[in-house]
Amino acid sequence: MKLTVIGCGHLGATQAACLAEVGHEVLGVDIDEARVGILRAGRAWFHEPGLDDMLTRKIRSHRLRFTTSFAEAAAFSPVHLLSVSTPSLPDDDGYDLTQVLTAATALAAHVTRPSLIIGRSTVPPGTTARLAREVAASARAPVEVAWNPEFLRVGTAINDTLRPDRIVAGVPSPEAEATIREIYRPLTRAGVPLLITDPVTAELAKGTANAFLAAKLSLINAMGDICAATGADMTALAQAVGLDPRIGAGFLTAGIGYGGGCMPKDVRGLAAFAKATAAHDAARLLSVVDDVNTSRRQRVIDLVRAAAGPVHGRRIALWGAAFKPGTDDVRDSASLDVADRLSRLGAEVVVYDPVATGAALVNFPHLAFADSALAAAHEADAVLIGTAWPEFTAINPAAAAAAVRTQLLVDACQAIRPALWQAAGWTVAAPHQPFDQAERPERPASTLEA
């Protein structure tokens, strides 16, 4: 079937390409002419593994094209997937729905036949109903609004779109449900579960999922503080807890905390909504989750200062700028926030990231940047690993030792095997262990037997 995707950011561009991949004819719409020009050339304007190749193939097959015209979008199809951004409000933690409302009403002004808008952005409950009212005032034909939250992760967005864990859709009518079932038929035939529910429940699904994951990360980081105080083995503890099938092993890596453009925003946005609706327990719980996560950054800074001494005038190499490996996304990057704070304390911070250097430079021009990990480490008084890229795991500790002034490594994300680095003469520190433990002999590795 013919579909439009309104908004060609990370979600929209990936979604447009993947819908074309499963057989639909797709028109991507974005008001940014430069962004559309890049996409028309078969490239994404951000880093997402495999997406450039998919865009090129689908454009050449004439199943995918891009435009800046809402009139063209309305004429192309009566079914529109709305995939624009919902950032936090500038003076509040709530969601800013400006782009959602603007894009939908701009489209509605050109609608002349019964149509369906399917929202995909993360929004507070009640957005579907509000959008339906706003669209009805602009369109010249009936327009229904459904909500179908996305669950993709940057770095694995194609797999998450083509092989998602679940599809959730909140629908206003049987006709809207039938349309959504047709859109996702190639995926549901392959076994992907489709949950049909009401719009308010669907609106809550993405924020709730991120809140659960955030709470799990904040809890394991809090347990890391106890490990640091007692000398307990954080890695073995996480393994012991993760073997419980009620808990699972995912999101149990203690370290610098979560970041990115979704999870922090969604936790704060849901907390703000809970507070506004007098759901006080939810608001309090989510606020604590956010506070614990934010505190990880200061803990890493304190660890660097405890290990290296006063940082003023010291050269610190930061390995990793993206908020997580596999992406060039630096939004709310814990690693870069720590680098910025160290710089403001007088440290000379030199940053290296395999793919996110450009984005980091735009947002933090006062930091220094290098084109390799070893170049960043040249004459460094400390090396701080802030993003667990596989490249850093593979670095030879002896080669790194030859580059630095002082063999001090602060591993803020469990990226390396401490024993290998300690054997090469490095002092290794981590947020979940006492600093003096870094100078003791490595404890025996925990083992798991069948």
**What are the residue numbers of the active site?**
262
Distance in angstroms (rounded) separating the CA atoms of residues 42 and 56:
4
Taking the CA of residue 71 as centre, how many other CA atoms within 13 Å lie in the half-sphere pointing to its CB? 0
Structure tokens at 295: 């505190």
Which string of b and e fits 47-76 if b means at least 16 CB within 10 Å? bbeebeebbeebbeeebbbbbeebeebbeb
Residue 241 burial (CB < 10 Å; 0-12/13-18/19+)?
Answer: middle
Q: Other CB atoms closer than 10 Å to residue 163's CB: what's the count?
A: 12
Q: Which H or E run contains 113?
A: none
For 54, phi and psi rounded to 5 degrees? -65, -45
**Residue 434, amino acid:** P
Q: Are 218 and 212 in contact (CB under 8 A)?
A: no
Q: Which residues pair with 299 in a beta bridge?
A: none
Structure-token match 């849901």, residue found? 270
Distance in angstroms (rounded) separating the CA atoms of residues 292 and 271:
14
Span between the terminal Cα atoms of the chain, in Å: 51
**Residue 59, amino acid:** I
Contacts for 396 with CB less than 8 Å, ≥ 6 apart:
none
